[in-house]
Structure 1
Amino acid sequence: MSAGVWMPCVRRAATVVIVGRFQSWIVVGSALQKEAKLYRRDRMASRRYHQIDLLRSVACFMVVAFHYLYRGHLDGWIPFASPMAVTETVKFGYLGVQLFFAISGFVIFLSAQGATPRAFAASRAARLYPAFWAAVALTTLVVHLGGLSSLVVPWRDVFLNLTMVAHWFKAEFVDWAYWSLAVEFHFYIMVWLLLRFDAMKHIKIIMSVWLLMSALNWLRPVYPVEFVLEVRWAPFFSVGICAFLMRQGDRSKWVHALFSIASLLSLAYAYSDAKKALGFDHLDVVAVVLLSCSIPVLFWQISRERFEVSGGRVLYWAATLTYPVYLLHEYIGYVLISRLSAAGVPGMLSALAVFVGVLLLAYLVNTRVERPLSVMIKRWVAGA
């Protein structure tokens, strides 16, 4: 065979080999990039923000102090009145709930990164329901045995509470603290829908509309919209969401504008709530607005990595127990404090003793119920 015949064959063969190897490199490179992206997402989702743990612990303590040392007596559930200096401090503790909502905005968007709709639903169900079911059962038991008949709800409502959406059926909450869980539940549904319809990439547009609806609702409340889309609490969730986006590198003017609008709206709602709050005067309203400023300020610092906290076992357990403590503290606390006060235990001491008892009960719920049951629920919902 002459050179003129076999040389083109060699060139074609060499070209096929080179192109084949090049395509293989592209495939391998693409696979490696995909694996690296998934690794970064998993690492980001599993990362623990200790400053969020600290804020969660502070928020929980604020709410407990508010109920035990201020609102419980004001509503007639607790027989003693705390000293004036104490009540004038803890009366603002309800702002811990707003802080919880901002935390959820940050944490839920963190957990949604790279998650499928089913995986997200599994993680939320495993996180929420085990401790909640235990709390509903324990609260019902203590309230029935404790003698505060005005806190007892019908058995139909007790069973509807197990769904966590008792308000959908116009049922009473077993413990009024559950109202904020209903708000959280609606927020989780909205995030799930974003994942289901692949709308996370449009989050800035969606948040813009959400905040616009929130502003209109502040001017003139529209109950169906406020109930379904939680526009009343949208500014607080949005502060956390924007802080997360900025923390992950999206520091565009759009996100900054959304953060600013959400912050201003959160102050507007805080002002409106304070004006309607029982026992609040003009100075209290001013104090609420000033204290409410701390929430966007803290999350701005987190977004800029200027607020960092070292972890530790104490902080870990404090943050871990916030959820069961929040679920268990109010009505159970009212019953036990009333019983201790009736037995002659000084008021402040009885509140402290009950708080310690609720911490221990929360630890048992976490270790004996929440952890083992959450694994089962997650596997069942995820279909594993």
Structure 2
Amino acid sequence: MSSTVATHDQLNEPDSSPAPSGPAAPAPKAKRPRLYVLDGLRLVAALGVVLWHWLGVERFPAVWHGSPRHLMTVGHWIGAYSWTGVELFFLISGFVICMSCWGRSVGDFFTSRVVRLFPAYWVCVLLTSAVLMIVPVRWGDDVSRPTISRILSNLSMMDEPMGVNHIDPVYWTLWAETRFYVLFGVLLAVGLTYRRVLAFCGIWAFLALVAMNSNFPLLSNIIQPGYCWYFIGGITLFLMYRFGQNLLLWGMLIFCWLIAQNEIRGIYPGYAWGTGHSLKWSVVVALTTAAFALVTLAALGAFNRIQWKWLTVAGSLTYPLYLLHQQLGWEMITRVRRYLPPYPTLGVVLVTMLIAAYLVHRLVERPLAPLMKRKMEQAFDQVRRNGAPAGDKG
């Protein structure tokens, strides 16, 4: 989310299907309650990214008609570090994607990702583009004024690998998530077992270490050595959740944290540039450690008593809020700020964005998801029916 993450964000899909059998697969634990707390943590992560862009970034004083650091000192210092919500997003994504894939086919996985990601994304791209084509450019360059070609390229969600500027900078995390999906999809095609998932995590970690100093851009682009530790950590925590703890899994998790704390040294200076002042490495590491700790506690059942149904609604707001908040949020802030003090402005804009996120969920995602799912399932049924080699009479 950070400009990433996010968030990917992901569905907390219940793990309802049986684990594939395998000689090395331990018996799964009895089915556990839905992890509602992950929905809540996803929203916390999204709000962290929102506060980073709205309060932490100092480079665009026109947004607040002044410096957030001086107008909202406490808010700014919270926002200056809250971009670490992206790391929390990636941890949750590793956990949830592994959970949602278990016992499913590649077609099921592909369908679930398309249905989950694209409807809201298309609407948010078009809505943000429409606003940015009408309002004057305010953020120091002309990148925010989209062209038709740029809008169309963004609708593919592949604008980053094509080298096209994002309509909204937050879309960068979608490409990070997509690369993770492709890697995990390859494993899913081979077949998920406890042993294979462990091997996948180990191989991915090793390749990430190789990529760090290999001067091999293609490898680094696929492996993501800066962020893969959160995805791998999330997968490891899912294995703990489903099959129970052991020393190997704890070793993998701790290893991911050790490498992540080092890698974040190369990430946080960019955020320090955005804030206009230095950031403390110790605070950044404490927050990323807290992200590991929270998802670990969730995986180990510490929050199983939290069965608040409203957290599902909160989680459903995460993705559209993430997609909408930066450019549109800045445009709203600069106008509301003319009439209200800073903190009331923040409250009004945040409530408005949450309402907009709910409307996207309610009016776009909920009606379109079942329709798209049916059409995708029909497409994969056709692929399977016509999948025999030419001339095969069987």
Shorter-chain TM range is 0.7 to 0.9
The answer for the alignment partner of 1:143 in structure 2 is 132
Q: Which structure 2 residues correspond to residues 1-384 of structure 1 after superposition, within 5 A? A: 48-71=34-57, 73-76=58-61, 78=63, 79-82=65-68, 83-148=72-137, 150=142, 151-198=144-191, 200=193, 201-219=195-213, 222-276=216-270, 277-278=272-273, 279=275, 284-341=280-337, 343-383=338-378
2:372 corresponds to which letter in structure 1? I
Cα pair 2:187 2:200 within 8 Å, conserved: no
Deviations 1:56-104 (A, max 9, x none): 1110111111111121x42445133332222112211110011000000
| 194 and 296 in structure 1: CA distance in 2 versus 1, 3 angstrom threshold | same
Helix, strand or coil at the partner of 1:316: helix
Name the TM-score, length of structure 2 as normaliser.
0.81
Distance 1:160 1:288, change over 3 A: same
* CA distance in 2: counterparts of 1:360 and 1:295, whole angstroms: 27
CA contact (8 A) 1:242 1:255 kept: yes
Q: Which amino acid aligns with 2:49?
A: V
Which structure has the greater CA radius of gyration? 1
SS of 2:302's equivalent in the other structure is: coil
CA distance in 2, matches of 1:91, 1:178: 20
- The answer to whether the Cα contact below 8 Å between 2:45 and 2:89 also exists between their aligned partners in 1 is yes
Q: Following TM superposition, by how much is the alpha carbon of 1:199 offset from its aligned partner in structure 2, in angstroms?
A: 5.5
The TM-score normalised by the length of structure 1 is 0.83
Structure 1 residue 364 displacement after superposition: 1.1
Structure 1 unaligned residues grouped into runs of 5+? 1-34
Give how far 1:219 is off: 5.0
Q: Give the drift of 1:137.
A: 0.7
Q: C-alpha displacement at 1:216, in angstroms?
A: 3.6
Listed one character per residue, the Cα deviations across residues 151-176 of structure 1 (whole Å, up to 9, x for unaligned) are 12222121111111111211111100
TM-align CA RMSD? 2.5
Q: Which amino acid aligns with 1:180?
A: T
Q: Is the 8 A contact 1:148 1:335 kept in 2?
A: no
